[in-house]
């Protein structure tokens, strides 16, 4: 049965990362969009896209999995959060936002469909209590990340993160670590490439700090 299921699973690859630092959170993602052939698993490059999306003015999310599922889910989540804030006249907390996304993923995967909804998110943002990072898997599992996480094609990236991450990293050190993990993955995972986006999240501020499209130039980034 497992072999039969594996024949129909598309592993397109991507790389998204979240790194918790002492003064903020670093979110990073590559730009390559791929799809895979069902007959031989070969990856085909379909173009480039931004894989870090804004849910609202306080929350960002990376996307991995089926792009249409991920983008649709985040649009719905953004609308639901806005509606709740209008009704309650209060900002929705990060934990409430993550729980709402988790519930949606749980329901989506268990809704009968010819094409199951598969989407994986790293959600980072700030609220009145500070900053936080959450890992939300396609089955609805929710975990608050205290150190770092990588999704999509994380094996080479995790090797770098496991060896180089240390508690108390500054944001600048976190950015350099994300770039190093990205460099370790390109060339080894064909579904990862075409550049990298890096954002930082601090209390009251979300900022894009790197938007690098040309891989050859990215290799020269220190």
Q: Which residues pair with 15 in a beta bridge?
A: 152
The sheet with strand 205-212 has its strands ordered as 148-152, 15-21, 24-30, 196-202, 205-212
Q: Which of 12, 14, 34, 185 is catalytic?
A: 14
Assign 73 to helix, strand or coil.
Answer: helix
Examine the residue annotation and report whether 14 is marked as an active-site residue of this protein: yes
42 φ, ψ to 5°? -65, 140
Question: Within the chain, how many helices (H) and strands (E) appear?
Answer: 6, 12
Alpha helices in the chain, H assignment, sequence order? 2-7, 67-88, 94-109, 155-164, 171-185, 215-218
Please choose, from the candidates 154, 126, 125, 149, the residue with its C-alpha nearest in 3D space to the C-alpha of residue 136.
Answer: 149
Assign 203 to helix, strand or coil.
Answer: coil
Distance CA 194, CA 197 (A): 10
Residue 167: CB atoms within 10 Å: 9
According to DSSP, the β-strands at 59-65 and 43-48 are unpaired
- List the catalytic residues: 14
């Amino acid at each position: 049965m497992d072999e039969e299921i594996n024949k129909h699973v598309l592993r397109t690859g991507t790389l998204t990362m979240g790194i918790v630092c002492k003064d903020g959170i670093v979110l990073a993602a590559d730009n390559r969009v791929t799809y895979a052939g069902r007959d031989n698993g070969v990856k085909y490059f379909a173009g480039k896209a931004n894989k870090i999306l804004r849910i609202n003015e306080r929350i960002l999310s990376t996307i991995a999995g089926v792009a249409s599922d991920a983008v649709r889910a985040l649009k719905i989540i953004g609308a639901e959060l806005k509606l709740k804030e209008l009704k309650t006249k209060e900002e929705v907390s990060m934990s409430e936002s993550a729980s709402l996304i988790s519930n949606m993923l749980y329901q989506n995967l268990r809704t009968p469909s010819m094409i199951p909804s598969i989407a994986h998110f790293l959600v980072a943002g700030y609220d009145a209590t500070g900053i936080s990072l959450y890992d939300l898997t396609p089955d609805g599992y929710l975990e608050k990340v205290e150190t770092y996480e990588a999704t999509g094609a994380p094996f080479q990236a995790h090797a770098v993160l496991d060896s180089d991450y240390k508690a108390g990293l500054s944001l600048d050190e976190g950015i350099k670590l994300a770039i190093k993990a990205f460099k370790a993955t390109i060339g080894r995972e064909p579904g990862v490439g075409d550049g990298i986006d890096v954002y930082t999240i601090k209390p009251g501020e979300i900022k894009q700090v790197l938007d690098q499209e040309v891989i050859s130039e990215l290799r020269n980034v220190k």
